[in-house]
Amino acid sequence: MARVARAPKLDLASVLNSQNPQIDLRLDAFEVSTQNFLRAVSNYTQRALTEIANRKNVHLTTRKKLAEKAQAVEVETNQCKLKEIELIKVIDSELEERKEAETLVATFRRQLSAARDRCAALEGEVEQHRTLAADMSRERERERLLLESHAAKIAPEVVHCADRLQCQIEGVDKDKILIRFLQLDTHNSNREFSLVLDVSSRSYKVSTMTPILPNLPIMLDDLNKNRDIYAFIKRIRVAYLVLIG
């Protein structure tokens, strides 16, 4: 709990005995205290108004949802009534067609037998597909384990290269590499120096770059010729240092 500062005890006798009697009313402290109190009241009022507005919006949203739900229920009820009328008509029609239906029972039984045979054949096909899916799943699992093994071997190399080149290298999106250079501008440590290299095709591309280097097309052409990404990163870093001056 905050401790309230108290004014020192006033010695009236010594004040009156002085040549220029003066009493320090501590008006500055009173003004600061008053401003703090008014600010606290204003903040409380603003929070209260915000809370009231939020609750009002929630209430209006809830009412709107309830109204929409009631309307949907009413529409569904009307549709059910229409379906009920149609169903009554269908029942009447079925009663009239009952005799004809008895004649078709034999045909339906033959169709049922044929359908069962077809189902048996389909079950065989489904079993084959399940076996194939299981084989594919096991193959994907082997591929995943192989990729994880390669990634575990490559990760230390990437970290080593990043330390040597003083940059961060990470994969973004699909077949894209984000290269962020570190500690370039000693006067502005938050300044961004980065590029996104697209390696999805034989010809490498730069999707984005901050800031843009004028000689980027030349360095990119050289990269597509020599395929040396590490040398490309070094040239980019040197070009940024020259740009900073």
**Helix (H/G/I), strand (E/B), else coil: 208:** strand
Smallest CA-to-CA distance from 25 within 8, 13, 38 is with 8
155-181 exposure pattern, b = at least 16 Cβ within 10 A, e = fewer? eeeeeeebeebebebeeeeeebbbbeb
Higher per-residue pLDDT: 3 or 113? 113
pLDDT for 217-239, tens place per residue?
999 999 999 999 989 999 999 99
Q: For domain 165-242, give the fold.
A: Copper Amine Oxidase; Chain A, domain 1 (3.30.457)
pLDDT at residue number 3: 57
pLDDT at residue number 4: 52
Torsion of CA 206, 211, 214, 219, to 10 degrees: -40
pTM of this prediction exceeds 0.75:
no
Do 182 and 188 contact (CB within 8 A), yes or no? no
**Helix (H/G/I), strand (E/B), else coil: 151:** helix
Domain boundaries, the chain: 165-242
| Orientation of helix 229-244 relative to helix 98-165, angle to 10° | 60
pLDDT for 135-148, tens place per residue?
877 876 875 676 46
Given a cut of 80, is residue 202 above it in pLDDT? yes
Q: For the sheet with 176-181, list strands across it.
A: 167-172, 176-181, 194-198, 205-210
pLDDT for 45-90, tens place per residue?
999 899 999 999 999 998 999 989 988 988 998 988 888 898 888 8
